[in-house]
Amino acid sequence: MSVKEPGIDLAPPLRSPRRPSLKKDELLEKAFEIFVEQGFERASVDFISTSLGVAKRTLYLRYGDKESLFRAAIERAIEVWILPIERLREAECDDLKETLLAIGRLLVGNVLSPAGLRLLQLTNAVSGQMPEIGAHNVHQGINPTIAFLAELLSRRLGPQLGCSVEAEEAALAFLNLVTGPANLVAWGVRLDAQFVDRYVQSGVRLFVEGLVPASADANVENVTQENQRLKVLLAEAMLQIDTLRQERVINASSSSS
């Protein structure tokens, strides 16, 4: 039996309740959402710490400054958003055209997903002052896809394609052809699912028939038809862009009056 000595309090001191600590992934995810909603400039460290329920001192200890926190949040968002190569590999079938169409639909769907659009809008907004953010996005998000596509094209087309450098260039051309709707959406153009799918199909046809012509006459006719389809799609997109610009001018005039 222990005896308490006079004047000595053996009870543990009372501690003030601590706020629950956010895990790293959860903190970066919530910080990313704040940057999307507020923008990099408007989202102060004070606002972020208050919104997250985290002490400002904790943010500085973990990340040093707001820019480092922003970079960490972007990097994690890319890691979560990026389409695993295994998903692309599962789309391969015996028909190269059908394979590329399935891959193109996967890629465009991923870019136009809510997570992809948020990432695209935020990186575009800061690309001028932080060009390395865009470079990191390309390195982490696009390069693995290009490597996969280059390997696929080299394996399926062999001598028809040429060296590995040409395979990578062809892979990049494919991405540019099928992911065009993402650039339009970045301008604020609203695209319906049918338009996007027609765009992807036309891009795949033009890409494949340009690489593997069936015959000289057939190739000229097919390329002409695909060029005409793409011109129609682009004309529709430009019309939407002009309409959007006019609406912005009208809204700006109304606001200033």
> Does one domain contain both 47 and 146?
no
> Does one domain contain both 186 and 72?
no
Query: Which pTM does this prediction carry?
Result: 0.69
> H or E stretch including 197?
helix 193-211
Question: Residue 116 domain-assigned?
Answer: yes
Share of the chain above pLDDT 70, in %: 69
- Domain encompassing residue 143: 82-248
How many angstroms separate the Cα of 139 from the Cα of each of 103, 121, 134?
A: 19, 18, 9
Least confident of 118-122, 164-168, 206-210, 234-238: 234-238
Please give the Cα distance from 78 to 141 (Å, whole number).
7
Judged on CB neighbours under 10 Å (0-12, 13-18, 19+), 46 is exposed
> Does one domain contain both 52 and 132?
no
Question: Residue 2 domain-assigned?
Answer: no
Digit-coded pLDDT (tens) for 67-122: 999 989 988 888 888 889 999 999 999 999 999 999 999 999 998 888 888 888 88
- As for how many domains the chain has, the answer is 2
> Does one domain contain both 40 and 161?
no
Contacts of 187 (CB under 8 A, 6+ apart): 241, 244
Instruction: Work out the mean pLDDT of the chain and round it to a whole number.
Output: 78
Closest C-alpha to 150, from 175, 125, 126, 116: 175
> Does one domain contain both 93 and 190?
yes
Question: Residue 185 domain-assigned?
Answer: yes
Digit-coded pLDDT (tens) for 99-113: 999 999 999 999 888
Residue 109 contacts residue 178 (beta carbons within 8 Å): no
Please provide residue 107's backbone torsions phi and psi, each rounded to the nearest 5 degrees: -65, -45
Judged on CB neighbours under 10 Å (0-12, 13-18, 19+), 208 is buried
Digit-coded pLDDT (tens) for 129-182: 777 776 776 677 788 899 999 999 999 887 766 666 688 888 988 998 888 887
